[in-house]
Amino acid sequence: MTEKPRILVTRRWPDAVERVLAAQFDASFNASDVAMDAAALAGALRSFDAVLPTVSDRLPASLFEGGDIRTRILGNFGVGYNHIDIAAAGHYGVTVTNTPGVLTDCTADIAMALLLSVARRTGEGEREVRAGQWTGWRPTHMIGTKVTGKTLGIVGFGRIGKAMAKRCHFGFDMDVVFYNRSRIDPAEAAWCGARQLETVEDVLAAADFVSLHCPGGGENRHLINPQRLAVMKPEAYLINTARGDVVDETALIHALETGIIRGAGLDVFEVEPNVPGRLRALQNVVLLPHLGSATEETRTAMGMKVVENITAFFEGREPPDRVA
């Protein structure tokens, strides 16, 4: 292309990345940093050579319908891409890329933070102190659950699942069991003390803490449902840093309210940024606003991954992180 490709960045990105995009492309930025609605996104697909969406940008098939699509590539800012209708994008000749690898450690760190916070009731404790309600130390005050030596169950043993296993096994001497759709070499799992079990149910029944690290959408929607929550130990905790739709949120709320499980730590939700009032009212759940990759280093690395992908595409090379 003789002219710079025209690109749209749908949300504010780290300054260092925006500067590179502005220098290399005819870039438009969402200065207000407010999520674009469906009409604006549909218009963008017909006005820009590339659209760079995030998880907060829903791109269903309806946005592509009617044709006249100018966009040739969606450079997704994030690993997960279940917010994009991949089939529709492919039908209209739109390439889709993501940003794997660079957010592994930070997402595993947040999963570990949620596990510790819900087990040791740190969110409850901080709220009590801030409200001026703490009356002093006493032996029965805010008793939590010991983490060291417990069993961690992982659903999805990819990069982030393995990083979580490493933290829990070496940092907290935890036994690790996991479910993964494909078989993992036992030697690859054994280095971090992990064993693969045959079914999701096997993992749920064995674990004191269950951490979800599988993709969202498709057959994983409501993977954790009423039946599977009932398989968990009543003293167990559920941690979700994957995608909100992996968990049936209504079923989880019921399980937390009635003692089917003891607690949960959530960084993602079914319909973000909407979090049900019943969930917000519970004390036995730690709620974070999708902070998994939220470090300066990681968000910048994610943005530079997008730069690499769209640069390769417009130079006629295969994007390194193409998913469709």
Same domain as 228, residue 84:
no
Does residue 187 fall inside a structural domain?
A: yes
pLDDT digits (tens, 9 = 90+) for 94-150: 999 999 999 999 999 999 999 999 999 999 999 999 999 999 999 999 999 999 999
In this structure, the answer to whether residues 97 and 146 fall within a common structural domain is: no
Instruction: List pLDDT tens digits, range 70-100.
Output: 999 999 999 999 999 999 999 999 999 999 9
94 and 113, same domain (yes or no): no
Instruction: Please indicate, yes or no, whether residues 179 and 50 belong to a single structural domain of this protein.
Output: no
Model confidence at 21, in pLDDT bands (50, 70, 90)?
Answer: very high
Based on the fold, state whether residues 67 and 36 are members of the same structural domain.
Answer: yes
Q: Is residue 154 very low, low, confident or very high in pLDDT (cuts 50, 70, 90)?
A: very high
290 is catalytic: yes
**Which is catalytic among the residues 46, 70, 254, 290?**
290
Do both 230 and 153 map to the same domain?
yes
Residue 10 has pLDDT above 70, yes or no: yes
91 and 108 co-located in one domain: no
Q: Within a 10 A sphere around the Cβ of 50, how many other Cβ atoms? A: 27
- Do residues 243 and 249 lie in contact, with contact meaning Cβ atoms separated by under 8 Å? no
Which residues constitute the domain of residue 190? 104-287
Q: Is 280 one of the catalytic residues?
A: no
Percent of the chain scored above 70 by pLDDT? 99
239 and 209 in a common domain: yes
Distance CA 63, CA 21 (A): 25
* Same domain, yes or no: 207 and 117: yes
Q: Does the model's pTM come out above 0.85?
A: yes
Q: Whole-number mean pLDDT of the chain? A: 97
Structure tokens at 79: 């690993």
pLDDT, residue 178, reads: 98
Residue in 254, 272, 308, 322 annotated catalytic? 272
Is 149 contained in some domain?
yes
pLDDT for res 2: 61
- Arithmetic mean of pLDDT, 188-195: 95
Q: Is 12 a catalytic residue?
A: no
Q: Which of 167, 213, 228, 243 is catalytic?
A: 243
> Do 228 and 250 lie in a common domain?
yes
Residue 118 lies inside a defined structural domain of this protein: yes
CATH number for the domain including 51? 3.40.50.720
Considering the domain boundaries, does residue 217 fall inside one? yes
Q: How many domains does the chain have?
A: 2
* Rounded Cα gap, residues 208 and 114, in angstroms: 14
